[in-house]
Amino acid sequence: MTKNQLIINLPDVEATLRFGSFLADFFQKKKEFIPIFLNGDLGAGKTTFVRAFVESLPGAENAEVSSPSFNILNIYPTKPQVEHFDLYRLEGQCPDDEFFDLLNNKNTLTVVEWIQYLNIEFWPDNALLFTWKATPTGRKIELTLHGSATPLFEEIATLLDSF
């Protein structure tokens, strides 16, 4: 673990669901947001995490959480609003201007799956990168700070001690 990287071990699906709920509780208290980027192979737990994250926010009863693989974006009417992107089908292509406008909106929670398909030169100044890896006993997540949102990252690190 480095100063700007944390390792989170999730032994099963239930732990992934708890982790999503845990982070939703943390973020709903914030006034401004930075994007959450999810990197990992198929079946790594990314969409399961997003489902738990969204379903733990106020207004989730009006949200049907699913992977936006075919339509690229799902917007969930939660408080705060969640914009859920899936870039899997965009491999080798650049998203449109609307994507970048939404990506830089600090008033919504933006979650991007398959961020590895977006060239890093297009990433915003600050983001939280969650790299998901399967292990023999569940999942390992490497949480890395991209940019300079160090106070937020340190706050998450401190909270994860109680997870």
Q: What is the pLDDT of residues 52-106, one digit of tens each?
A: 999 999 998 887 777 666 667 888 999 999 999 888 877 767 777 788 888 888 8
CA distances from 76 to 81, 110, 111, 159 (A): 6, 10, 11, 25
Q: What is the model's pTM?
A: 0.88
The residues near 46 (Cβ < 8 Å, ≥ 6 apart) are 38, 40, 113, 130, 132
Q: What is the pLDDT of residue 158?
A: 84
On the 0-12 / 13-18 / 19+ scale of CB atoms within 10 A, 32 is: exposed
Pick the CATH number of 5-160 from 3.40.720.10, 3.40.50.300, 3.30.930.10, 3.40.50.1820: 3.40.50.300
Q: What is the pLDDT of residue 94?
A: 72
**Is pLDDT at 42 greater than 50 in this prediction?**
yes
Domain ranges of the chain: 5-160
The helix or strand, by DSSP H or E, that contains position 16, with its residue range, turns out to be helix 13-27
% of residues, the chain, pLDDT over 90:
40
